[in-house]
Structure 1
């Protein structure tokens, strides 16, 4: 008999198709009574999984989360209940780093605005506004995990002066550590956010950080929308407190604040930094591999191990 997999959240069509070839998929309904039976559940990092869901699923032994962030998965609760948590770190590192660089150039060099300028027929009548050069400028990276390191390497390769901040120094890394994010923003021409979400980073980038970045500074966010105080960011973009922003993530998705849509100095992306043909194939392969490892009793990376 084909094993059932419980879907705790909506999942992308390509992942659904791959799972359907091997398993019977069952949609979860959070308001339902306890559901015995399913051993495996799949969710998305943006939705996560919590103890209330675990309590309704007495036979659950594996949660697979698509994505790198685990802040919305209750790892201690999973560990207490004997539920392993697989996820997809590393798979999307390089493509997300590429996207961060793309957003940096798009915002600083006004790429999306220039496209709209040409399409609107304005080129024959007007002169396009000036962008900002990035060569020999300073890049500040907030969060130097694997994605942050990949971004830092790219910035350094472009001739930028790289520094970073995070919870603690990493002496093995070649770039200067700046313990205070405001100080990092003040020395940076571009501030790139690559830190995890969660309570520790909630609205880490606030009005004071944006003021330190300044009117010729650019903010790039490929981390989580929660890391930025969006009211402060919108105010800074509207008033010229910063030069521009490139945003792949928002506090509410997909229903982002409509005020962003009226701003020419912000480049908007639909949480698509990891969406390449190559990354999707690798990510789905990783999910299938981890599920099969669990079913066969073979080792796999369990994020819940030791979480209690």
Structure 2
């Protein structure tokens, strides 16, 4: 008999079929389906597949007495009640490394789009406006980029920056062993040094509004911000004020505090590029995340150690 798996995140049909080969799936990507599945089948559910945004609460864990395994499809797990799950001996895993390239690619897509003003130039071209009527935009190459959160994604952002002859520095809670990039222990100092700031730090209480008015002021009127981590890391009101006042030059966001609803304070601004939390998604990245989950789950139910424990 296949273990019962509660899936709380949206999955394409082909990926669900691959998982269904090994699990009895309860597919519940909406709040209503989630509540019904837990109420009706909670006693038999042995595994949950979710993501950092969707999460799994402590009260939900308590309603799943047979639960053994909780997996985040991507790298983030900020809304999963990990400490509470550990008190039950539940194994926790994530998709670390599965979609890093996709996220780093998207970070640079946002950076290029906002620095070179691609959306506005596209609109101008469609409206018949020639280049002579448009202000010049800065080059991307040869500048300074600060990475906030030099994990796997941050490292890949830094690697891509090297291809643009961009000097890279970073800020973490502490320096990374074996990393030769310049380290700033003070985030404002990094922002002051940088032309671009790319946010790749985990979400959660520890990084809530890490990017505030003071950091944006330090980034300055020629600086650009890109966020591909979690919306909670950036103070939306402070960012809106900085963009309106010219305190910074522009921003590219794949994530925002009001998800899944658009960030109303930013929508009317022309110096920001917005995408709907898609940085980590592509056919290749989605398949790799599912592969990681299947490998972790197969190992767990075979009594083996998982590959990417949280």
Q: Give the TM-score normalised by the residue count of structure 2.
A: 0.91
Contact kept? 1:219, 1:245, Cα under 8 Å: yes
| Whole-Å separation in 2 of the counterparts to 1:247 and 1:175 | 25
From 60, 67, 72, the equivalent of 1:65 is: 72
| Whole-Å separation in 1 of the counterparts to 2:21 and 2:130 | 51
Counterpart residue number, 1:191: 197
Counterpart residue number, 1:99: 106
| Whole-Å separation in 2 of the counterparts to 1:55 and 1:33 | 14
CA shift for structure 1 position 122: 2.6
Q: Deviations over 1:194-221 (max 9, x none)?
A: 1111111100110111111111100000
CA shift for structure 1 position 21: 4.5
- List alignment gaps of at least 5 residues for structure 1: none
Counterpart residue number, 1:120: 127
| Whole-Å separation in 2 of the counterparts to 1:251 and 1:87 | 22
* 1:176 pairs with 2:175: no
CA shift for structure 1 position 120: 2.6
Residue 284 of structure 2 aligns to a residue whose secondary structure is helix
Counterpart residue number, 1:5: 5
Contact kept? 2:9, 2:49, Cα under 8 Å: no
CA shift for structure 1 position 16: 3.2
Residue 265 of structure 2 aligns to a residue whose secondary structure is helix
From 210, 231, 237, the equivalent of 1:231 is: 237
Alpha carbons of 1:161 and 1:226: their partners in 2 closer, same or farther (altered >3 Å)?
same
Counterpart residue number, 2:278: 272
From 32, 42, 46, the equivalent of 2:39 is: 32
From 153, 156, 167, the equivalent of 2:162 is: 156
Q: Deviations over 1:166-195 (max 9, x none)?
A: 100124111110111111101110011011
Deviates more, 1:129-138 or 1:293-302: 293-302
CA shift for structure 1 position 17: 3.9
| Whole-Å separation in 1 of the counterparts to 2:170 and 2:77 | 22
| Whole-Å separation in 2 of the counterparts to 1:133 and 1:11 | 38
Moved over 6 A (4+): none
Over the aligned positions, Cα root-mean-square deviation in angstroms equals 1.9
- The aligned length equals 302
Residue 262 of structure 1 aligns to a residue whose secondary structure is coil
Q: Deviations over 1:103-150 (max 9, x none)?
A: 1111111111111111233338x6222212122211111011111111
CA shift for structure 1 position 22: 4.1
